[in-house]
């Protein structure tokens, strides 16, 4: 059974988690400039002082909500390591597209207006770089050929560009989009002359 101290800690974590969920809603519905810490506190039913206890500034709160959204995506797309690499990639991409379909507004915002904050750009850049490393390691031999990394790095941008078009125009279904994207990766790798996954 949890000790009183552990229980208190749980409450703190839980409140923080709920504030971040609230943040995702608020930053999706309003522009950054429209929101103030006073308004966020009011929406969360807590005092401004308590909100500042959790997050030292609006910017810090904003960056934390973005980080939480990214953690949420990453948990959703975590691949099954028992599958072969190509099947892992397929399943991960499928899970990513499902997440985007369910969170289209937040995703669009993250890729567009959220990039105004240098901290958010840094988080997105770091995630892209780590994801590139992971995919290259999964696809390639120990010494990955020059060009494979460039192909994968370009492909991650391709996913976001195609997904933005998808959520804005919705011309094709999720499965066709997945085939389009897997085709782009295969074509990039073949075009660079570094073998196919």
User: What residue ranges bind a second copy (CB under 8 A)?
Assistant: 112-113, 115-118, 121, 125, 128, 132, 146-147, 149-151, 153-166, 169, 171-172, 176-177, 179-193
Instruction: Report in angstroms how near the CB of residue 68 gets to a second copy at its nearest.
Output: 22
Instruction: Report in angstroms how near the CB of residue 193 gets to a second copy at its nearest.
Output: 7
Contacts for 90 with CB less than 8 Å, ≥ 6 apart: 178, 182
* Closest listed residue to residue 62, CA positions, set 122, 125, 12, 126: 122
Query: Would you say 57 or 115 has its CB closer to a second copy?
Result: 115
- Contact at 8 Å (CB) between 166 and 172? yes
Instruction: Report in angstroms how near the CB of residue 88 gets to a second copy at its nearest.
Output: 18
Query: Would you say 20 or 181 has its CB closer to a second copy?
Result: 181
Instruction: Report in angstroms how near the CB of residue 135 gets to a second copy at its nearest.
Output: 13
**Is 75 in a helix, a strand, or coil?**
helix
Query: Would you say 51 or 181 has its CB closer to a second copy?
Result: 181
Report the distance separating Cα 97 and Cα 80, nearest Å. Answer: 17
Token duo for residue 43: 């929406």
Query: Would you say 84 or 146 has its CB closer to a second copy?
Result: 146
Report the distance separating Cα 127 and Cα 165, nearest Å. Answer: 21
């Amino acid at each position: 059974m949890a000790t009183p101290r552990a229980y208190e800690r749980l409450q703190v974590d839980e409140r923080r988690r709920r504030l971040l969920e609230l943040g995702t809603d608020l930053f999706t519905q309003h522009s950054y400039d429209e929101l103030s810490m006073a308004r966020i506190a009011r929406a969360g039913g807590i005092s401004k002082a308590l909100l500042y206890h959790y997050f030292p500034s609006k910017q810090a709160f904003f960056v934390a909500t973005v980080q939480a959204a990214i953690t949420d995506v990453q948990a959703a797309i975590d691949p099954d390591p028992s599958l072969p690499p190509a099947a892992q990639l397929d399943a991960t991409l499928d899970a990513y597209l499902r997440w985007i379909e369910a969170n289209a507004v937040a995703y669009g915002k993250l890729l567009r207006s959220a990039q105004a904050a240098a901290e958010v750009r840094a988080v997105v850049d770091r995630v892209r770089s780590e994801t590139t490393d992971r995919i290259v390691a999964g696809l390639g031999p120990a010494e990955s050929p020059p060009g494979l990394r460039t192909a994968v790095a370009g492909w991650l941008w391709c996913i976001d560009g195609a997904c933005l078009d998808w959520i804005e125009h919705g011309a094709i279904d999720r499965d066709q989009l997945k085939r389009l994207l897997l085709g782009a990766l295969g074509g990039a790798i073949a075009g660079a002359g570094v073998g196919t996954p």
